[in-house]
């Protein structure tokens, strides 16, 4: 029994020692993003270095994986079928938790640099970041609903995978640019950085980016949620004024 315990400790020591030898030191080009009336997206530079107390370890090459995750919400995915000449909702599934935005950037192909066990443990890839428990009981071919949801989010620019988008110099300095689309959801965005060797995560670091509405966007957002009646009246008044203004302008320019 003692020999078994000693053998297990010997196997655990290299990974533990390596994780202590290599640590992430990282920063962000900005920690706050303001959504204004003319906001058309932004770009975040994520950069850093690997801190070591000894030379670069021999063996598998060091890899870096970066994820940026927006606030999570539940989503209902519906399937439409054509019946009696019209399109109707024929089935639906509920995804318990899905990030409003999710980007993955890495130094190499994820299947090659990250084991499935580590992916499951840290929930790094997009499918692992989505929690859809029990959808198999809600509709036939439930995985097709999830695939369709992923395609929609990718087409909207909300989900992206950039394999090879992280630049790593001499296994020490790294950087990557992550694009944030214009249709961002307000909230706190989680940035995670992972170091991996031989498919195993040896260190990780987490930062956050605050995305907030500012100016008129903030005013209308607060008004709509805190005083919906006043917001409705204001929207009606603005619509009437805009319609009257367009009509008056048309009369002026009409020959």
Give the Cα separation of 246 and 250 in Å (integer).
6
Q: For residue 26, name the pLDDT band (cuts at 50, 70, 90).
A: very high
Give the per-residue pLDDT at 6: 38
The predicted structure's pLDDT at residue 168: 95
185 against 4, higher pLDDT: 185
User: Tokens for 222?
Assistant: 């607060």
User: What band does 151 get if pLDDT is binned at 50, 70 and 90?
Assistant: very high
Is the pTM higher than 0.85? The answer reads no
Give pLDDT, residue 190.
95
CA-based diameter of the chain, in Å? 100
Per-residue pLDDT band for 253 (boundaries 50, 70, 90) equals low
Of the pLDDT bands very low, low, confident and very high (cuts 50, 70, 90), residue 249 is low
Least confident span in 29-33, 59-63, 130-134, 203-207:
130-134
Q: What is the pLDDT of residue 53?
A: 85
Q: Check: CB of residue 220 under 8 Å from CB of residue 244.
A: no
Indicate if the pLDDT at residue 12 is higher than 50: no
Is there a contact between 81 and 90 (Cβ–Cβ < 8 Å)?
Answer: yes
pLDDT tens figures, 86-110: 776 667 788 888 999 999 999 999 9
Residue 75's DSSP bridge partners are 95
Spatial contact of 107 and 164, defined as CB atoms under 8 Å apart: yes
* pLDDT single digits (tens) 115-127: 999 999 999 999 9
102 touches 69 (CB < 8 A): yes
For residue 218, pLDDT over 60 is answered with: no
More confident of the two residues 89 and 66: 66
DSSP letters, 162-208, are EET-SEEETTTEEEEEEEE-SSPPSEEEEEEEEEEETBEEEEEEEEE
| Segment 16-36 mean pLDDT | 78
* Residue 122 confidence (pLDDT): 96
- Whole-angstrom CA distances from 50 to 16, 54, 96, 144 are 16, 11, 36, 41
Q: What percent of the chain has pLDDT over 90?
A: 42
**Coil/strand/helix, residue 159:** strand
Distance (Å, whole) CA 7 – CA 167: 38
Query: In the numeric block, which tokens belong to residue 187?
Result: 């909230």
Lowest mean pLDDT among 16-20, 32-36, 183-187: 16-20
The domain limits of the chain are 14-213, 215-255
Which option is the CATH number for 14-213: 3.40.190.10, 2.70.70.10, 2.60.40.3880, 2.102.10.10? Answer: 2.60.40.3880
In contact, 152 and 79? CB cutoff 8 Å: no
């Amino acid at each position: 029994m003692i020999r078994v315990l000693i053998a297990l400790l010997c196997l655990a020591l290299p990974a533990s020692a390596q994780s202590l030898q290599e640590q992430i030191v990282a920063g962000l080009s900005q920690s706050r993003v303001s959504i204004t009336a003319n906001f058309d997206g932004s770009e975040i530079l994520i950069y850093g270095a690997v801190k070591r107390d000894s030379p670069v370890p021999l063996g598998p090459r060091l890899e870096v994986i970066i994820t940026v995750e927006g606030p999570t919400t539940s989503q209902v995915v519906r399937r439409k079928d054509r019946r009696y000449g019209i399109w109707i909702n024929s089935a639906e599934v509920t995804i318990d938790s899905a990030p409003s935005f999710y980007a993955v950037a890495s130094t190499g192909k994820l299947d090659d640099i990250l084991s499935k066990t580590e992916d499951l443990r840290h929930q790094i890839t997009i499918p692992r970041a989505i929690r859809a428990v029990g959808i198999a009981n809600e509709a036939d071919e439930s995985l097709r609903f999830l695939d369709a949801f992923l395609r929609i989010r990718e087409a909207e620019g909300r989900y992206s995978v950039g394999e090879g988008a992280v630049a790593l110099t001499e296994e020490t300095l790294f950087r990557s640019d992550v694009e944030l689309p214009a249709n961002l959801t307000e909230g706190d965005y989680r940035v995670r950085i992972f170091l991996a060797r031989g498919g195993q995560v040896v260190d990780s670091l987490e930062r956050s980016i605050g995305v907030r509405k500012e100016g008129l966007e903030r005013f209308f957002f607060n008004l709509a949620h805190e005083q919906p009646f006043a917001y409705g009246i204001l929207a009606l008044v603005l619509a009437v004024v805009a319609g009257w203004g367009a009509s008056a302008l048309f009369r002026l320019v009409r020959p």
